[in-house]
Amino acid sequence: MNIFRLAGDMTHLISILVLLLKIYATKSCSGISLKTQELYALVFLSRYLDLFTDFISVYNTVMKVVFVASSLAIVWCMRSHRVVKRSYDKELDTFRHYILVFVSFVLALFIHEQFTLKEVFWAFSLYLEAVAILPQLVLLQRSGNVDNLTGQYVFFLGAYRAFYILNWIYRYFTEKHFSRWISAISGLVQTALYADFFYYYFISWKNNAKLQLPA
């Protein structure tokens, strides 16, 4: 494992911890898109079909379990927790996320590295992850003001993908048979979607002001 992948995994883990902190400490999921969280749960469930069949390392297995368990816990909390679900911005979270699922699955059926169940679902998870943040970004734009923890959550989530792009570049030049081009393209698309958010995040950080996104 190289430093870029480790940094990517850690920023991804931090983003989840920040989101869990927001939900459990404030008993609120205001500003968080349930639809994005459901998409991420589907991403991890479809990507880690090999969790109980292929062992790579203890680190790899632990991270897979953490991502699957945390994504399901967040969805459950937002849907079922008696207090937390009251703060859910249902009127703002109206993105038709099922369209993203459908398009991603169709792409995976036709564009994959190998036509096997595991590889098709792996490709599906990458395509879906590339656009899973869209409902969250749309919700933030509609709400305007972004609270500190929500802003940090989205920032670390974007940073995770940026580090993974560096990881793929590093692996391309250091590994003879590295050919995960689907991962690289999907990662570039996903990172590009964060560009506008990053701009306003750094502006607010520079001016020591509250993060606001244009409607």
Angstrom distance (rounded) from CA 148 to CA 170: 33
The pLDDT, as a whole number, for residue 188 is 83
> What pLDDT, on the 0 to 100 scale, is given for residue 50?
86
The pTM of this model reads 0.91
Distant-in-sequence, close-in-space partners of 6: CB < 8 Å, separation ≥ 6: none
What is the pLDDT, as a whole number, of residue 113?
81
* pLDDT value, residue 67: 95
Bridge partner list, 33: none
Element (H, E) at 169: helix 148-174
For tokens 């991962």, what's the residue? 183
Instruction: Say how far apart CA 183 and CA 108 lie, in whole Å.
Output: 12
Beta partners for 145? 212
Sign of the C-alpha dihedral computed for residues 90, 94, 99 and 104 taken in this order:
negative
pLDDT of residue 125: 95
Q: What is the dihedral of CA 202, 88, 14, 207, to 10 degrees?
A: 20
Residue range 68-118, pLDDT digits in tens: 999 999 999 999 988 898 999 899 999 999 999 999 999 999 998 888 889
pLDDT-flagged residues of the chain (< 50): none
> What pLDDT was estimated at residue 215?
64
